Amino acid sequence: MLHRTLGTTGPQVSALGLGCMGMSALYGDADRTESIATIHAALDAGVTLLDTGDFYGMGHNEMLIGEALRSTTAAHREKALTSVKFGALRDPDGGWSGYDGRPAAVKSFAAYSLQRLGVDHIDVYRIARVDPDVPVEETVGAIAELVQAGHVRHIGLSEVGADTIRRAASVAPISDLQIEYSLISRGIEERILPTCRELGIGVTAYGVLSRGLISGHFSRDRQLAANDFRGMSPRFQGENLQRNLDLVDALRKVAEGRGASVAQTAIAWVLSRGEDIVPLVGARRRDRLTEALGALDVTLGADDLAAIEEAVPAGAAAGERYPASQMAHLDSEH
C-alpha cells in the first residue's frame, strides 16, 4: 500500500481511504455483513484511513466501524485511523435540523463517538459543516482542547472556503480539509487548494466518483430508493444525468485505451493531482473496493491526463453538486 501524509502536521495514511457513509445512509439500503467484510478487506489490503460521521445513520456507521474493528486482528486495529465528522443535528425520523459547533456540544459529540467506535481516541475530528451561529475559532478551539486531553489526535475541516481555512488554522494546526473533488467537481482548484498548500494542510477528497455517477456503473435506468441522496441530487436528474453520463462515455473510451476501468481512471486522476491529496472511496462492497484499489496501479502520463481532460473538461458537469438547500450550508461555495 502506498502512503501519503495529511498536511505538515497530520498522520501518515494509506493513499486511498475508505469512506463508510454509504454503508449506513444516503445511498439507499446497504448490506451489513458485506459492509463489515468490505471494511475488513480494506484493512487487509493496507487501507488505514476509515472515514465516518456520527450522523451517518445516527450512530449506525460508527457502531458498524466499531464492530469491524473489534472483529479484526490487533495489528489491523492498531494501524486503523478514524476520521470522524460531527455537528449535524438529526431527528428521530432521519430529518436534518442544522448544525451545532458550540464547544460543549463538540465535547459531547466526541464522548458519544468514542463509545460507539470503541476506541480511546479519534484520529482526525472535524465539524461536517460550520455552525453559522458559532465562530469557527470556538469550534476548532474545543477540538484543540480534546487534542490536549488525548481524546483526539488531529483537527480536520470539512467543506469550508479559503477564509475559514485561514481562521481555523490560526487557532491550531489543521491536518486536512475534507471536500468534494473529482473530474466533475473541480471548484477547489482556484482558491481552496492553493490555500491548503500555502498553510500545509492536506486534502481528503470525497465524491471522487461523484457518488457513483462517474464510476462507470451508473445508468440512466437505475431505480433509486426513496432514501437515496442521489434521487435529489441535481446531477442525477433528467437531462443533467444524460449529459453527465455522456461525459462518462467519453471517459470510458480513454480508460479502455489504458486498460483501466472508468472508476479506476477517475480515482487515479484525483491521485495525480498532488501527493497532498488522499481520495476517500465510498466502496460498500468488496468487488467495488477491489476495483477502487486497482487505481493505485494506474499511472497517468501527460498524454493520458490530456486525454482525460479533453473527455471531461473542467466545468463540464451539468447541475450543482448538492440541492440548493444544502448548497446554502457549504462555506466552501460562498
Instruction: State the catalytic residues.
Output: 56
Of 187, 202, 234, 282, which lies in the binding site for ligand NAP, with binding defined by CB under 6 A? Answer: 282
Interface mask toward ligand NAP for 214-243; x: CB under 6 A: -x-x--------------------------
HSE-CB for 2 with a 13 A CA cutoff? 16
Grid look-up 487487509 returns 44
Among positions 10, 11, 22, 202, the unique one binding ligand NAP when judged by CB under 6 A: 22
Q: Is the dihedral of CA 53, 57, 59, 62 positive or negative?
A: negative
DSSP SS3 for 317: coil
Helix/strand/coil for 167: helix
Stretches 3-11, 92-100, 145-153, 281-289: which one binds ligand NAP (CB under 6 A)? 281-289
Binding mask 285-314 for ligand NAP (x = CB under 6 A): ---x--xx----------------------
Q: Using CA atoms, how far apart are residues 295 and 303, in angstroms rounded to an integer?
A: 17
Q: How far apart are CA 267 and CA 265, in angstroms?
A: 5
Q: Cβ(94)–Cβ(135) under 8 Å?
A: no
Cα angle value 130/324/133 (rounded, 5°):
25
Nearest-approach distance from CB 208 to ligand NAP, in angstroms: 5
Site map 60..79 versus ligand NAP, x via CB under 6 A: --------------------
Site for ligand NAP, residues 107 to 146, rule: CB under 6 A = 128
Q: Shortest Cβ distance from residue 98 to ligand NAP (Å)?
A: 15
Cα separation, 176 vs 253, in Å, equals 34
Q: What cell was used for 245? A: 453520463
Q: Does 187 bind ligand NAP (CB under 6 A)?
A: no
Identify the CA nearest to 121 among candidates 141, 86, 148. 148
Closest to ligand NAP by CB, 85 or 116: 85
By the rule CB under 6 A, 10 interacts with ligand NAP: no
- Return residues touching ligand NAP (CB under 6 A): 19-22, 27, 51, 85, 128, 158-159, 178, 206-212, 215, 217, 263, 280-284, 288, 291-292
